[in-house]
Amino acid sequence: MSEQPLSSAHSIHRALTRFSGVTVLVVGDLILDRFVNGVIERISPEAPIPVLHGRGETMALGGAGNVVSNIVSLGGKAICISAVGDDAAGANIVRMLGDCGIHGDGVARTAGRMTSSKTRFSALNQQVLRFDEEEVRALQGAERAALLERFRTALASADIVILSDYGKGVLLDGVAAELISICRQAGKPVLADPKGRDYARYAGATAVTPNRKELGEAVGRAVFTDAEVEAAARELIGLHGLDFVVATRSEKGMSVIDATGAHHISTQAREVFDVSGAGDTVIASFALSLASGCDRAAAAAIANAAAGVVVGKRGTASLSADELSGALLRSQSAIQHKDAILDADAAQRMVAAWRREGLSVGFTNGCFDILHAGHVSLLHAARAQCDRLVLGLNSDASVRRLKGEGRPVNDQHDRACVLAALASIDAVVVFEEDTPLKLIEALKPDILVKGADYTVDQVVGADVVQAYGGRVVLVDLVAGKSTTGTIGKLRAGSRK
């Protein structure tokens, strides 16, 4: 894989569209995650323990299966190599992999093996008990040989490899080391999500992705500060021949360290509901980004944003490319203003992602030919009405039809770039029609904002927004400020 440095966050954003061309080979421990939800209303008469009245049960792919699920939901292709038991849990895992479009050929089902499963019992979204069913057992001779053969065959189709080690047996007894050796010989990058204190089993991997606690355990000391994380990572790099280390650090974000440099990416502040499977999301999104041509720092920025989304969900969770794109757009450190310029289809996807996060969406529109204080005041007031603001911008042809020849002064690209740079604007969409009605009908904003020089019955789209329960807000304008007035002053000055 050739590593292509990305000079801007715009390139990071574009990398998401390249995920569909990436195939990731995932090898590791498959786990069935069950979630039983209910309510607790009394204490058992048999013992001083609460009685959970079940209200429903769901299942999800855990362990390496959650890595696969994240790759697929982000638009990438995945190949899964593993071994499970010939039991009900194993059958459920194979079925769910099939639902993700993953062929079950790579997953061996063995009568003598128990499929790992974890059942989490929750009441009012608070976990009260976890029940694990598992047996740690390394692959036996025939199982091991078959897995290695399947891996060699699948490797030819893969761009990058992930070893998802949950310590249940698939990668034990030198299997991880053998897989890494095969990858090195084939020139394929391999990332390992580690388990345990002994990282010698991952020697020669391209990178490992421990969390802060795991990193400290691997070097035998606690690590907290940037300097301590860098020192621990470089110790592992020197001991085990790694190219670099990606360390996740909870509220501190993420760090990418190699032998000579380090990048520290701050986390995005948001409410945390559940960290289950966040590491799976990190390695899945990092691998896709790296294989898509991102450099390590850019891949880490994308993975960091992805983790910020899934910890805001309950249970073992994956995310979509639209959710990831929205997270990047929210992060000023991971996106530039020009990435807020979207077409109508992309804007619809973005608005849908914002709504899934419970955010209100506002909309306003105009020509915004020569930006002045009145425009800025209007947009600031509009943004104060909502969590996210989309601006519909008249195209050059639309402005000419409305304002006459000689307008606009600034073309649509320049106008869009200037507007997108404003903190009050979250997305700019250029429309070709004389009015934004079609765009309003597509986006269905919660709040429609216009200047108070209009009345509600004059606002295009007001009836549409009000029909589905949205609001129309009219904001006061700054007196004496207009593009037409500015142009008039310029022309008057040129005649003197």
CATH class entry, domain 9-333: alpha beta
Say what angle helices 321-330 and 344-356 make with each other, to 10 degrees: 90
The pLDDT of residue 44: 93
Candidates 492, 369, 404, 392; CA nearest to 450 is 392
Amino acid at 351: V
Looking at the domain that runs over 339-494, which CATH code has it been given?
A: 3.40.50.620
d(CA 54, CA 40): 9
DSSP 243-255: SEEEEE-GGG-EE
Q: Which residues pair with 111 in a beta bridge?
A: none
- Active-site residue identified among 29, 87, 159, 280: 280
The pLDDT of residue 90: 96
d(CA 85, CA 78): 21
The pLDDT of residue 88: 96
Q: Is 420 helix (H, G, I), strand (E, B) or coil?
A: helix
343 is an active site residue:
no
Candidates 381, 299, 383, 390; CA nearest to 353 is 390
pTM confidence score: 0.68
The pLDDT of residue 127: 87
**How much is the mean pLDDT over the chain?**
87
H-type helices in 34-127, by residue range?
A: 64-73, 88-99
Length of the chain: 496
Q: Which residue spans of the chain are classified as CATH 3.40.50.620?
A: 339-494
* Parallel/antiparallel/unpaired status of strands 23-28 and 77-85: parallel
> Does the annotation place 212 within a ligand binding site?
yes
Q: Which residue spans of the chain are classified as CATH 3.40.1190.20?
A: 9-333
Residue 263 makes CB contacts below 8 A (sequence gap 6+) with 255, 256, 257, 296, 297, 300
d(CA 207, CA 188): 12
d(CA 460, CA 435): 7
The pLDDT of residue 103: 85
The pLDDT of residue 341: 82
Candidates 66, 74, 72, 80; CA nearest to 25 is 80
Summarize the chain as % helix, strand, coil (round to 5). Answer: 40, 25, 35
Q: Are 195 and 167 in contact (CB under 8 A)?
A: yes
> Does the annotation place 211 within a ligand binding site?
yes
Q: Which residues pair with 23 in a beta bridge?
A: 77
The pLDDT of residue 478: 61
Which tokens sit at 215? Answer: 């990193």
In order along its 496 residues, the chain shows pLDDT tens digits of: 334 334 444 555 677 889 999 999 999 999 999 999 899 989 999 999 999 998 889 999 999 999 999 999 999 999 999 999 999 999 999 999 999 999 888 999 998 899 999 999 998 778 899 999 999 999 989 999 999 999 999 999 999 999 999 999 999 999 999 999 999 999 999 999 999 999 999 999 999 999 999 999 999 999 999 999 999 999 999 999 999 999 998 878 899 999 999 999 887 544 444 445 688 999 999 999 999 988 898 899 889 888 878 776 655 566 777 777 766 765 544 344 555 788 898 889 888 888 877 789 999 999 998 888 888 889 999 999 998 999 999 999 999 999 888 788 888 888 888 898 888 888 999 999 999 999 999 999 999 999 888 899 999 999 999 999 999 999 887 665 555 555 555 555 555 5
Candidates 423, 468, 430, 431; CA nearest to 448 is 468
**Sign, Cα dihedral of 385, 273, 349, 395:** positive
Which tokens sit at 171? Answer: 């990668």
